[in-house]
Amino acid sequence: MTRRPVHRVLLALAVSLSLAACGGGGDEDSGPPQGEAVEAPAAEESPLEEPATQTCQSRPPTAEPAAGISTDLSVAPDVPPSDVPPPCDLLISDVVVGTGPEAVAGSTAAVRYVGAFYESGEEFDSSWSRGPDETLPVVVGAGQVIPGFEQAISGMNVGGRRLVTIPSDLGYGPQGQGPIPGGATLTFVIDLVDVTA
């Protein structure tokens, strides 16, 4: 008696089962019986497709500033709430275009800011709350702040004010930090006060 290797037996069994599943009997009708409703199989989600409920909205990278943001750089700005879906990407709007030196990689930017939650406009942090002359020094490109904040400063000119909406992936991500929950979209109003090399 000759022994066949197990893997050959398994291969033959798999091929036999596959052929049996594909083939049908001679007179058998493979369709449903006449008059019976047929339920379509449930559609499977492809990993490449967007989910049915999108949590953000694609918009141009820059947009018109929201109404109600003060252009007076001597006062703390209010951040309005939003009732539209948050953007999927970083959204930057110049409220005031600065005319001074530009913040570029490697330079130190002194900024004043107000940070708030996108949907509610509720403030979670503000340099203004520590005093009107209080600034945050940020070395552009050094990764000292969240990526969206740093990207918003880059290319800004002294004397400018920007409204910036930062999606979670450029903010604090799914883990959040402190009072900021995971997945939060954030809005900042940033004033560029000074730039040094």
pLDDT at residue 175 tops 80: yes
Domain 91-196 CATH assignment equals 3.10.50.40: yes
Active site residues: 113, 124-125, 146, 172, 188
Neighbours of 44 (CB within 10 A): 7
Q: Calculate the average pLDDT of the chain.
A: 78
Q: What's the pLDDT score for residue 1?
A: 46
pLDDT at residue 33 tops 60: no
Domain locations in the chain as residue ranges: 91-196
Give the whole-number percent of the chain exceeding pLDDT 90. 63
Mean pLDDT for the stretch of residues 165-184: 96
The CA–CA distances, whole Å, from 12 to 9, 21, 22, 25, 171 equal 5, 14, 15, 21, 55
Q: 36-59 pLDDT, tens per residue? A: 333 333 333 333 333 333 476 666
Rounded-to-integer distance, Cα 196 and Cα 130, Å? 22
Rounded-to-integer distance, Cα 121 and Cα 78, Å? 8
Give the whole-number percent of the chain exceeding pLDDT 70. 66
Q: Which residue has the higher pLDDT, 190 or 67?
A: 190
Q: 73-131 pLDDT, tens per residue? A: 999 999 999 988 999 999 999 999 999 999 999 999 999 999 999 999 999 999 999 99
Closest listed residue to residue 159, CA positions, set 106, 110, 126, 197: 110
